[in-house]
Each structure stands twice: as C-alpha cells, then as structure tokens.
Structure 1
Amino acid sequence: MTGRFCTLEPLDPARHAADLFAANARDGEGRNWTYLPYGPFADLGDYRAWMERTCLGDDPLFHAIIDHATDKAVGVASYLRIEPAVGVIEVGHINYSPLLQRTPAATEAMVLMMARVFDELGYRRYEWKCDALNAPSRRAAARLGFRYEGLFRQATLYKGRNRDTAWFSIIDSEWPAIRAAFQAWLDAANFDADGRQRTALAAGGQP
C-alpha cells in the first residue's frame, strides 16, 4: 500500500527489525509500549525473536510503515480478527515510533489501510479497539472518523491488570465522506514547503 508519504508492506523481521528497534529507542521511557500486551524489548535480538514468533501469520497480518523520506521502517500496524465471510476486520497492534508520530505519514498509513479494506476488499465494517485509559488512541480514532460504540468492561487482562476496552468502528456507508475528507487533507496543496499542514483534520475525519 503506497501513498505520497509512506508505504506499508508485510512485516519482515530480517528487513525491518533493526530500523524499528532503532526508531522505537527514541522513546527513552518506553511509553509507546504502555497499552500493548508486549514490550518494551531489552535489545534487538529480543525484539526480532518476538517478531518471528508473533508477526508472521495471516491473522494478525502485520505491516511495517516505511517513511519515504528515509526509506526506513518507522512504525507497525496490522489487520486482525479478519472475517471476510461477514465483511468485518479490525486494525490493531499500532505502534508508531517517535519518528512517525504527528507526521502526515502517520495519518496516511491509516488512510491506506482503510482504503484497502473498503475500496479493494469490499468489507462492511472496520473496527478500532483500545484500552479505555489510552487517551491518545481514543483521540486518534475519533480524528480518523471512527465512531465510539461503547465500553467492554474487564474485556481482557494484560501486564498484570484488567483492561476495559473502548470500541470504535467505521462502516461502509460512512467511508465515502471520510475518504473525500482525507483526500482533501492529503492533497499537496494542503502542505507548505516545509511539510506543515495548512488545514488540520478535525475529529470525525473532517477538515
């Protein structure tokens, strides 16, 4: 999946682990791992071994996010709970390194994944779930056009505590308007010579 700022490609530990480990190391306090059931990893060997155990299956289907400016992997996202028979699929395992956070590529990566789900694969429903305490993830879901659907209390257990899970979704009838807003936001005219956006993307995927 290729856009103007980034490309998503199947995660390959041999190709991507070193770049991702280096990018994640810029998060010196390990905060990016707080709401993930794994990590942080002590060294590259541990990180690559986890990838080889966990990230090479068909569900979850992991992707590396490659920054066109550096041609390096700077983040990870996956499709999971893939149910083609009923047209439902989820995005998850999102881990954006500090090199990807708050960049146009960060948004474009999610747009590319949505476009594949709805335009190419014809799914009916695209889900986003996160720890209810994860305020940045909840804000991101709203900004990207996902609608909040409710709270599943004590839905799972990880890192020694209960997790309440917040559910969000986009359905196929909502996608055309969201896609149009993203296309306008990602247009080259919306960015100045230094790559700064002229018009922000607000909650609900609307400029």
Structure 2
Amino acid sequence: MPATSPLPVILTGRHVRVEPLAPAHLDDLFAAGGNDDDVWRWLGTPTPRTPQELAYKLDALLADPSCVPFAVVHLETGQAVGWTTYMDIDVANERLEIGSTWYGRAHWRTAVNTETKLLLLTHAFEELGMGRVQLKTDHLNERSQRAIARLGARHEGVLRRHRRRPDGSWRDTVYFSLLADEWPEAKGRLTARL
C-alpha cells in the first residue's frame, strides 16, 4: 500500500491515550514537567519556568505545519503527562520521525513511553504504510538512547556537531531507526514488555 500522510488521530492503549495536542492540555503538562530542568535538558530548548513559557512552546508546536503533535494522556489519572510528534514526514519516501518527546519525571521508566511508542509505531507502519521510522537524541542523553534501543530500533550513527544547545555548546546527534520488515519482531517484544 502506498504511504499516507499522518493526520491528528486518537490512539488508545491500556496505559495511555495519544491524542491531538491542544491548549487544553497546558495545565496538566506544566504540572507534569514544567520548571524541571531534567525533563527539558536534552530537548534543545530552555526549560519553561512558567505556564506561559510552556504555552509559547505548545503554541509554536501547534503552528508548525511540518509536524503532527500529540499529548500523551495517562489513562489512570486522565492527565496529560507529556507530548510527542510525528515530524520530518516524507510520504514519497515512506518515512517519518517520532521526536520532540518528553514525559514528566514521574513517568520515566514506566509503561508510558513503551506504550506510546508502540501505538505510534503501529500506526506509522500498519496504517500509514511507512517503511522507516527514525528517532534521534543527544549523544550525551544515555537514558534516551537506552530507551530507544529497548524499542528495537537500530543505532545508525552520529551526526557530529549537529545542533547548538541552549547553553551554546554543540550537540552530536545519535540516530536510530526501525524498518517495516523489522517491525513485527519489535512489536512482539514491545507488546510482551507491557
């Protein structure tokens, strides 16, 4: 089947619901991860210290036509605990990236990231017809690299001096990817982990 461009959609699992990001999520999101340097350290943008600063980031994401942003809602509490996006979308070449992802610290190393990625990857490969999904992170963000590797994504390499960090230093970016023919095995592992 030919690939199709992602649109805002609601994807529901046992632990999380991934839904179109909206200004109504702001209070939950600030409570989950606002003013937390550890949450924002590797995202390439300063930590939002106030709800207004987070609202500016949220509005910028919503205004960006090159991505499809989602709120990640924890089903047990009904509260948004982070956000993620489909980005770098190239339908002609059947690829996209899952990125700009963050979760409040209380949800690190829980089912939240695993199930969010399972829902997004399933949608990308099985419904949108993508042949490649990439993920990337700062080379110093070892926690994120381990989480991406646990998804079954393969390490592809490092782009050196790729992007300037908010503090002015240079970031090397580590790239990972999953291909459509690798997806069934990775999906089985992710499903078993949940």
TM more than 0.5: yes
1:177 is matched with which residue: 177, 181, 185?
185
Number of the residue aligned with 2:105: 98
Do the aligned partners of 1:3 and 1:112 also contact (CA within 8 Å) in 2?
Answer: yes
Partner Cα separation in structure 1 for residue 181 and residue 163 of structure 2: 31
2:71 maps to 1:61: no
User: In the TM superposition, what are the counterparts of 1:38-117 in structure 2 within 5 Å?
Assistant: 38-117=45-124
How far is the alpha carbon of 1:180 from its aligned partner?
A: 1.6
Partner Cα separation in structure 1 for residue 21 and residue 26 of structure 2: 9
How far is the alpha carbon of 1:26 from its aligned partner?
A: 7.9
1:18 is matched with which residue: 24, 27, 42?
27
**Share of identical aligned residues, percent?**
34
TM-score normalised over the length of structure 2: 0.89
Task: Structure 2 unaligned segments of length 5 or more: list them.
Answer: 1-10
Partner Cα separation in structure 2 for residue 34 and residue 55 of structure 1: 22
Which 4+ residue blocks in structure 1 deviate beyond 4 angstroms?
none
Number of the residue aligned with 2:3: none
C-alpha offsets along residues 13-49 of structure 1, whole Å, 9 cap, x if unaligned? Answer: 1x1011000111484xx11111112131121112112
Do the aligned partners of 2:160 and 2:172 also contact (CA within 8 Å) in 1?
Answer: yes
Do the aligned partners of 2:34 and 2:54 also contact (CA within 8 Å) in 1?
Answer: no
* RMSD over equivalenced CA pairs, Å: 1.4
2:12 is matched with which residue: 2, 5, 18?
2
How far is the alpha carbon of 1:90 from its aligned partner?
A: 0.5
How far is the alpha carbon of 1:54 from its aligned partner?
A: 2.8
Instruction: Name the structure where helix makes up a greater proportion of residues.
Output: 2
Q: Which amino acid aligns with 1:87?
A: E
- Count matched residues: 183
Do the aligned partners of 1:90 and 1:126 also contact (CA within 8 Å) in 2?
Answer: yes
Do the aligned partners of 1:16 and 1:64 also contact (CA within 8 Å) in 2?
Answer: yes
How far is the alpha carbon of 1:158 from its aligned partner?
A: 2.2
Partner Cα separation in structure 2 for residue 100 and residue 56 of structure 1: 27
Number of the residue aligned with 1:166: 174
Counterpart of 1:41 in 2: which secondary structure? coil
Do the aligned partners of 1:77 and 1:94 also contact (CA within 8 Å) in 2?
Answer: yes
Partner Cα separation in structure 1 for residue 46 and residue 170 of structure 2: 18
Relative contact order (C-alpha < 8 Å, sep 6+): which is higher? 2
Partner Cα separation in structure 1 for residue 28 and residue 89 of structure 2: 28
Do the aligned partners of 1:26 and 1:98 also contact (CA within 8 Å) in 2?
Answer: no
2:179 maps to 1:143: no
How far is the alpha carbon of 1:168 from its aligned partner?
A: 0.6
Q: Which has the larger radius of gyration?
A: 1
The range that moved more, 36-45 or 54-63, is 54-63
Do the aligned partners of 2:34 and 2:48 also contact (CA within 8 Å) in 1?
Answer: no
Do the aligned partners of 2:61 and 2:69 also contact (CA within 8 Å) in 1?
Answer: no
TM-score normalised over the length of structure 1: 0.84
